Structures are given as structure tokens and as C-alpha cells.
Amino acid sequence: MLTFLKDKNIIKSSKILGLHCYLQSNGDLLFYYVLVTRDKGQLNIEKYASFQGNIEQLALEVPTNIPVYLSIDGKGILTKKVSVDPTKSLIHQAIPNAFEDEFVVQQFKGVDNVIFISIARKSFLDEFLAGFAQQKFQL
């Protein structure tokens, strides 16, 4: 079973929003989204678009009362390919002198003993996600 499907709110919901946020180097946010609905067992794309703006503008563009699957990329997010090394933590393979408590690490399995990791500072990520919480997004 796919472990990410354990969230029953996403499974039971008749609508879900897939949202990708790209953090540009000048501080602007670029959003790509797709609103998917389920009707009688069929998945339908109700709306999709991209725009440059902020989280407040996004709340005016899409519904905030449905589950959101969020991906973040761009400035402040480091993604690297590392080989599996059991003697080192994943973050130390990418940033040797990093304090693990200051970062959030997410890993994605590749092939041939390779892992892709994405790293972001906890303080940055907490502040960024607080903007979504203020607008009542259900991440």
C-alpha cells in the first residue's frame, strides 16, 4: 500500500488541490496548481493555472477549505543526489558541517543505491507554512 494514501481526509475528499510553489531569487512566488475533483469514481481536472503573486492572492484564486498537496522548490531549498552511506546522516552527506536540528530533510529513492534529498531550514519553512495557515489552507 502507498503510505501517503493513509490520510483519510485526502481519500474521502471529493476535491483536492495540487500546488507547486517556486520561490524565485527576487523573493516573488510563482504558483502552479491543479484542482482535481472526484465524481462517481472519475477524476476530473476542474481548474489549473499558474500565476505570480503571494499566498493571500492564492487564497483568492483557489478554495482554501479542501486538502492541499504542496511541493516547494527554488531559493532556500537545496536538492542533491547522494549515494547511500550508512556511516553518515543524509544531511551530512550534502552539507558536512550542518546542525541537523536546524534543517528539514526529505528523501526520495532513486535507482542503483542513489537517494535524492531536499533540504530546507526549519525556521524558513515554519515561517513560510505559517502564511498558508493564516489563510486557512489545509496542508
pLDDT digits 0-9 by tens, 82-105? 887 778 887 888 888 888 889 888
pLDDT of residue 111: 82
For residue 108 the three cell numbers come to 526520495
Answer yes or no: CATH 1.10.220.10 is held by domain 13-134: no
Residues 6+ apart with CB under 8 A from 98: 91, 92, 119
Spatial separation of the C-alpha atoms in residues 8 and 29, rounded to whole Å: 30
Q: Which residues of the chain have pLDDT under 70?
A: 1-12
Sign of CA dihedral 94, 139, 136, 28: positive
Spatial separation of the C-alpha atoms in residues 78 and 95, rounded to whole Å: 10
Are 105 and 90 in contact, with CB atoms under 8 Å apart?
yes
What is the reported pTM?
0.78
pLDDT of residue 27: 81
